[in-house]
């Protein structure tokens, strides 16, 4: 059974309205959210920098367990 063109158009408009409402909610929530402080951003940057200095996780696991390094 084929769908009526009117019904397809109505369903598309309903879905578009739902998506627009969801977008409006997300934009409102983003505008209310406080930006992270300088202290938080600096701390996260230092953590990332420290992880890069340590190397990859596999190498760290081998060092901690005392297992020999893979060739």
Give pLDDT tens digits for 18-47.
Answer: 999 999 999 999 888 777 789 999 999 999
Domain boundaries along the sequence of the chain: 1-33, 36-66
Token representation of residue 66: 């005392």
Q: Are 54 and 60 in contact (CB under 8 A)?
A: yes
Greater confidence (16 vs 33) lies with: 16
* Phi and psi torsions of 35, nearest 5°: -70, 150
**Position 10 pLDDT exceeds 80:** yes
**Position 60 pLDDT exceeds 60:** no
Residues 6+ apart with CB under 8 A from 54: 60
**Position 65 pLDDT exceeds 70:** no
Which range in 25-29, 61-65, 67-71 is most confidently predicted, on average pLDDT?
A: 25-29
């Amino acid at each position: 059974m084929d769908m009526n063109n009117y019904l397809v158009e109505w369903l598309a408009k309903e879905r578009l309205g739902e998506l627009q409402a969801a977008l409006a909610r997300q934009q409102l929530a983003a505008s209310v959210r406080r930006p992270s402080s300088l202290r938080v951003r600096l701390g996260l940057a230092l953590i990332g920098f420290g992880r890069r200095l340590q190397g990859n996780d596999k190498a760290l696991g081998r060092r901690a367990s005392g297992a020999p390094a893979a060739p």
